[in-house]
Structures are given as C-alpha cells and as structure tokens.
C-alpha cells in the first residue's frame, strides 16, 4: 500500500533499547532502578512497540570507571526479563545481546528455554561475542582461547541443545546426554547474532535466524546483506531465513533543532564517540550521524524508509537518547504518536 508516494510495509516492527547493562555507556550513572525498568517496559508495551532489548555486561570497563564517581548497575538479562515478563502481557523480550563467551553453554540454553516458557513464547534470543575484550579477560583471566573460538562452539552446541537430546565434545564446550525440559515454546527459538564483523554475519548465516548489526547505514546494510547471501550459499541455507535487524540510536522531538541539541547533550552521543575506538572503529565520527534516527518525525520516517528500501523491516532495540527515564519515555511517546502510524 502507498501513501503520498511512500510504500508502507505493514510488517515493520520497532523495539526499544532496554537499560539492563547500559549505565555509564548509553545512559548516565545512575539512570534506572528496578521500578524504572518496569516503567519503561510497560510504557513500551502500552505504546505498541514490538519488543524491549537489553544487553549483557558484568564488569565495568576501565574508561567507564574513570568517567563516573559510582559504578554502574548492570542487571543480569535473563533474571531481569523474567521479572519483566511477569509485569507485561505481549511485548517481546530481546537479549540484545547475551555474551556467549561469558557463559556456560548448557546453563545459557537452560536460561533461554526457561525464559521463553515463563514469558509464553516471547523471547528473542540475541547472542554475541561481546564488545569489550577487557571484560572477557576479567571474567576468564587464564583463558588462552580467543572469544571467537568459544563463540563458534557455543553457537553450534546451542543449536543442538535447543532442539532436543544431544551431546557435544569440543575444545571449549563439552557435555554428555543433555535433554533440556521444559523446551522453549517457540520452535525454533529465534536466535539473533549481534555484531558488524563478517564473522558475526557468517555465524548468523550458519546458526541464526537473524542478524543484529549496530549503527550501519542503509548502503552498508545492503552491502553486507550480500555477504549473508554468500555465506548462506556456503552452508546451504536460504538467505530469506535471516532477518536483518539493525540496532540504531534515536532522538526525536517535534522540532528537528531541539532533537539534535538533545542528542548532542546525551550520554548516548558521548558513548558513540567512544566506540570509534572499538565497535565502530571503521567509521569516521561525522559518519556516525548518518546511522542515527535524529530529528523530527518527518526526518526519521524518511530515514526508516531508506532502510526499508534495502529490505529492513525490523528495528529491534532502538536506543532512545535520554539522560533520565522520563526523557526516554517522552521519546517513546513522540515516536509512537508520530512515527509508528506511518508503518
């Protein structure tokens, strides 16, 4: 269907970035207590967002410790989402992303299956290698293997554990005759792989149902979707089975100038500048503004249209730039009232 020359795709889904482990990075310290987590999730559900998506951190990075007088609160994602599941009815719960090299593979499979059951089939199981090597080294200080090796074995083993009785013998992951019950309600349980690196795209093609890149332009999405097709060909899968679901940053206001001013004064803005040294190291800072949804509703709709033109219909964990919970919810309200109806 069309409106004013625009093609409207009725299946487009939008999710909200959820501050499980974002204090000190995406948001100030302190930002959100447990009551605030519930408030954000319930408001996101009321405003008809599809999901809330929270990340996975255990220890604060050195630059975060230097930046704040108190340490950030990192809420464990599975426990948090089990709590949120009891406070909501329909909104999906997205672990965007669970860092597999931090965790025992059998236990994380059990946690994912349990959360899917407790939430009545609402889990989007996002997994990844982790953004910070120093965090991995703090948790596994004597580990000689790289995170990538552990990630590959974990994903292969997970794909078997979530389907039925299995054993696995690898260099880093090993178990015998495990049969998890209860099994996930969803079959298959949707597994999304986070990361911009070609290896992350390969893992999504090999074992995943979706790919979660962060802060890529529509042209970059189009280019890397070509890699999905290539890798799917190598492993014998249909690339249409892989949901390309970018994570973006958003700051919206009725005035474009106000939105841009709010964005530049936000902790999200400072965090994205820091990522030039890590996750976004291939991008110049000026280009970061091209991968954000910042502006008034008309500007944001135009940007979303550009992503839709390259096949994106799922934005699962939009990080709304805000320095407190009430400001975040104001962003949700404006987005829901002025952007969601166009899709």
pLDDT above 90 covers what percent of the chain? 85
- Which tokens sit at 4? 């004013």
| Placement of tokens 């015998």 in the chain | 176
Q: pLDDT band at residue 283, thresholds of 50, 70 and 90?
A: low
Q: How many CB atoms lie within 10 A of CB 332?
A: 23
How many angstroms separate the CA atoms of 235 and 113, rounded? Answer: 26
End-to-end CA distance of the chain: 10
Asked whether residue 278 carries a pLDDT value surpassing 70, the answer given is: no
Asked whether residue 285 carries a pLDDT value surpassing 80, the answer given is: no
pTM over cut 0.85: yes
Residue 127: enclosing H or E segment and its boundaries? strand 123-128
Each residue's pLDDT tens digit, 311-342: 999 999 999 999 999 999 999 999 999 999 99
Q: pLDDT band at residue 289, thresholds of 50, 70 and 90?
A: confident
Each residue's pLDDT tens digit, 139-176: 889 888 889 999 999 999 999 999 999 999 999 999 99
How many angstroms separate the CA atoms of 118 and 112, rounded? Answer: 10
Q: pLDDT band at residue 132, thresholds of 50, 70 and 90?
A: confident
Asked whether residue 57 carries a pLDDT value surpassing 90, the answer given is: yes
Average pLDDT, the chain: 92
Per-residue model confidence (pLDDT) at position 282: 57
Q: How many CB atoms lie within 10 A of CB 304?
A: 22
pLDDT above 70 covers what percent of the chain? 93
HSE at residue 116, side-chain half, CA atoms within 13 A, is 24
How many angstroms separate the CA atoms of 116 and 22, rounded? Answer: 23
**Residue-wise burial string across 21-36, b where 16 or more C-beta atoms lie within 10 A, e elsewhere:** bbbbbbbbbebbeeeb
């Amino acid at each position: 269907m069309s409106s004013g020359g625009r093609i409207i795709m009725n299946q487009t889904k939008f999710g909200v970035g959820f501050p499980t482990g974002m204090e000190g990075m995406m948001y100030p310290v302190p930002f959100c207590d447990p009551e605030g987590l519930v408030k954000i999730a319930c408001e996101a559900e009321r405003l008809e967002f599809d999901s809330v998506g929270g990340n996975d951190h255990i220890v604060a990075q050195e630059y975060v410790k230097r930046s704040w007088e108190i340490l950030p609160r990192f809420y464990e994602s599975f426990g948090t989402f089990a709590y949120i599941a009891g406070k909501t009815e329909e909104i999906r719960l997205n672990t965007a992303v669970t860092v597999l090299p931090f965790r025992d593979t059998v236990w994380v499979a059990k946690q994912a299956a349990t959360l899917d059951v407790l939430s009545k089939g609402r889990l989007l199981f996002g997994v990844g290698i982790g953004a910070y090597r120093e965090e991995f080294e703090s948790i596994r200080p004597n580990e000689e293997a790289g995170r990538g090796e552990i990630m590959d074995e974990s994903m292969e083993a997970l794909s078997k554990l979530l389907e039925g009785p299995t054993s696995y013998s690898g260099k880093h992951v090993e178990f015998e005759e495990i049969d998890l019950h209860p099994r996930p309600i969803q079959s298959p349980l949707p597994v999304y792989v986070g990361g911009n690196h070609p290896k992350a795209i390969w893992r999504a093609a090999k074992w995943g149902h979706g790919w979660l890149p962060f802060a890529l332009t529509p042209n970059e999405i189009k280019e890397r979707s070509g890699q999905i097709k290539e890798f799917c060909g190598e492993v014998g899968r249909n690339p249409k089975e892989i949901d390309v679901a970018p994570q973006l940053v958003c700051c919206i206001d009725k005035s474009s100038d106000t939105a841009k001013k709010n964005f530049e004064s936000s902790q999200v803005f400072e965090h994205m500048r820091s990522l030039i040294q890590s996750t976004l190291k291939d991008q110049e800072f000026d280009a970061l503004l091209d991968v954000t949804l910042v502006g008034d509703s008309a500007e944001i709709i135009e940007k979303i249209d550009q992503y839709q033109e390259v096949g994106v219909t799922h934005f699962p964990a939009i990080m709304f730039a805000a320095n407190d919970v009430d400001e975040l919810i104001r962003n949700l309200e404006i987005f829901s009232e002025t952007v969601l109806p166009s899709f």
